[in-house]
Structure 1
């Protein structure tokens, strides 16, 4: 079962915080926006949001999500394309998707996405230079050698060799699907049950990392595992209802994860607690993120491959977007630009390859009902 993230809106005030390994200290005033600026992403039908973003270079990026959503009612798949000068909406009228969940790409001929279908099968999508098109794979009805009907894809990654790694449940268990667009192979299933995976990350060493959550005792805990020919499952990130939304391993014994922990009970619409945790090869250590209620959603690395920026949402101060910036051995809260969105909520962040610039995406308000629109920010570092 897919865990559902809380989103709601209210305003408050909170100054910037710098955090290190298990410590937090206030900074006055809050760290400045560091040239984060809004970039128009026009054309989506409210309520709309962008969930994931991938950049191939300064002149090519993709962002995906959903539009036409109202409350719990399903919307439609949303795709945006950056051509070096502007974001434009991609025509996806041919897709029967309620949303696109993830996107990855290294060039115009090696970009992939997965989505939430309105039917019973979860297609794999490939960029054809203009739009997203379904492509066959083992387990997709109608594909050669298929026969399986219950395959749900949730995450995707593409390496510099253009090899594609897709994650999803197959016959009730999570597994990785590896291919090149022509031939595909399912790898050994994950040796763990009740797992949802929301992110796949590839390392230059060839390791493949996955993150999400795992059902536990009526709730769920954060889940992280590594594939390098066989699976290594790390201890869970403990919480009552904790989900990991993204991860970044600087090394096997130096891993950062972010997410939200919804705890137990509380009034309807209760926000979770922002989660930032570090793996040192032995145990997970929670790190205070600089604010309590809210969420952390995405991690982007710098040119050296080290975790550098984290996107977040501060429930008590929704007047601007919220980031964590790595500053030496600490994380510092950085607020985005004032004014372009009433209460922005960021879902993801990525670096533009070959540069020191970053994109972030989300929605213009934390409540996914009209008139909330797709929202994008850009950092000229």
Structure 2
């Protein structure tokens, strides 16, 4: 079944778009320097800008990003994506002025790093897709990544999908062990697997930490020969929300401001169509009683990540607009609505965004992805930044 979210940004998603089919631009689609927006507190909102992330081996992409503050961030993904060679894990770190590629040659791991999280230089973690017997768990030592031990390491069928780190430095990981989706909780020394998620045939893609003892996960679950969107909460026991209905729908990310204010984003693959057919962006809101599907301002593409503001409210969503790939695409929260915002224009890039995150202690945000929508050379790692 499923597995679509991890695959959508790792498979060619079609050739250059037919411009004649592009929808009429909506307000906010192509902002000029004079077309400034304002935040709710009145501060000026600047444009997204490209920040070079040099050194990746084409084809390469950054899957996830985490920031501890304006002077420290990490991004992970994969590089050397070619038919004739072995994929390599890719990791970069931000020192406040530049991105630097991390040397991972000491790791006994080849594959994709799928997520990263951190709150300071001594509390940052990354996980990767299985290569060999099981997924790796990596810990940042201030300079590079080192493999860490956890129960189930090297055990067949163990998969670590996503990681979150709290202010208390406890580490939460969603994954799979013994055929069931689970959470792994630890502090770097002691680890324990929590009770299985009571959902059969579930895939988890992202974990979100709302409070030190409350986490949310998102993914998909088997449904009528296909799959539907999955969101669940752990606060000592599992609460599984009703499935988000859709035609082969996977939820790439979730953001919970409260138990009755939850946003979920992803991609609906639909039914049929030619190989490489792009899906449809999916956006849904939970009000404590039911899910409401919200139609984004573009209809073909994907939504990949969601980030909150300093008050914990959902604020920015990263996406990909198949019908207009001239710039990166975001949704920005405007009260009860979501407005399309475009990134910087370029004649040499057609960016695909995989993730967006807030920069703690500021009103800024980072996003990451790849320079083109197809992960073939000469596609490279890509980052953008918003300073407010």
Of 88, 93, 100, 2:105 maps to 93
Using the TM superposition, give the Cα deviation of residue 74 of structure 1 relative to its aligned residue in structure 2, in angstroms: 5.4
Q: Is contact 1:9-1:343 (8 Å) kept?
A: no
> 2:368 aligned with 1:356, yes or no?
no
Q: Is contact 1:15-1:28 (8 Å) kept?
A: no
Using the TM superposition, give the Cα deviation of residue 32 of structure 1 relative to its aligned residue in structure 2, in angstroms: 5.0
Task: Could you tell me which runs of 5 or more consecutive residues in structure 2 were left unpaired when the two chains were aligned.
Answer: 34-45
Of 210, 216, 221, 1:214 maps to 221
* Structure-2 residue corresponding to 1:21: none
- Identify if the C-alpha distance between structure 1 residues 340 and 177 changes in structure 2 by more than 3 Å, giving closer, same or farther: farther
Of 75, 80, 91, 1:68 maps to 80
> 2-side partners of 1:29 and 1:266: how far apart?
28
* Structure-2 residue corresponding to 1:45: 57
* Structure-2 residue corresponding to 1:119: 132
Q: Is contact 2:29-2:341 (8 Å) kept?
A: no
> 2-side partners of 1:45 and 1:241: how far apart?
33
* Structure-2 residue corresponding to 1:20: none
After superposition, the C-alpha distances for 1:237-257 in whole angstroms (9 at most, x for unaligned) are 111211100111121111111
* Structure-2 residue corresponding to 1:194: 201
Of 234, 243, 252, 1:236 maps to 243
Using the TM superposition, give the Cα deviation of residue 118 of structure 1 relative to its aligned residue in structure 2, in angstroms: 2.3
After superposition, the C-alpha distances for 1:329-380 in whole angstroms (9 at most, x for unaligned) are 1100001000175210000001110100110000000000000000000001
* Structure-1 residue corresponding to 2:284: 277
> 2-side partners of 1:43 and 1:28: how far apart?
33
> 1-side partners of 2:110 and 2:369: how far apart?
19
SS at match of 1:203: strand
> 2:23 aligned with 1:10, yes or no?
no
* Structure-1 residue corresponding to 2:144: 131
Using the TM superposition, give the Cα deviation of residue 158 of structure 1 relative to its aligned residue in structure 2, in angstroms: 0.3
* Structure-1 residue corresponding to 2:211: 204
SS at match of 1:97: coil
Task: Could you tell me which runs of 5 or more consecutive residues in structure 1 were left unpaired when the two chains were aligned.
Answer: 18-26, 142-147
> 2-side partners of 1:29 and 1:211: how far apart?
28
Q: Is contact 1:163-1:178 (8 Å) kept?
A: yes
Using the TM superposition, give the Cα deviation of residue 154 of structure 1 relative to its aligned residue in structure 2, in angstroms: 0.6
Q: Is contact 1:32-1:335 (8 Å) kept?
A: no
* Structure-1 residue corresponding to 2:96: 84
> 2-side partners of 1:175 and 1:367: how far apart?
32
- Identify if the C-alpha distance between structure 1 residues 354 and 28 changes in structure 2 by more than 3 Å, giving closer, same or farther: closer
Using the TM superposition, give the Cα deviation of residue 120 of structure 1 relative to its aligned residue in structure 2, in angstroms: 1.3
Calculate the aligned-residue CA RMSD, in Å. Answer: 1.7
Q: Is contact 2:318-2:354 (8 Å) kept?
A: yes
> 1-side partners of 2:84 and 2:335: how far apart?
41
* Structure-2 residue corresponding to 1:302: 309
> 2:273 aligned with 1:266, yes or no?
yes
Q: Is contact 1:49-1:368 (8 Å) kept?
A: yes
Q: How many residues align?
A: 366
> 2:181 aligned with 1:169, yes or no?
no
Of 287, 294, 298, 2:294 maps to 287
With the length of structure 2 as denominator, give the TM-score of the two structures. Answer: 0.91
> 2-side partners of 1:126 and 1:86: how far apart?
21
**Where does structure 1 differ by over 2 angstroms across 4 or more consecutive aligned residues?**
1-4, 6-9, 11-17, 27-34, 70-74
SS at match of 2:273: coil
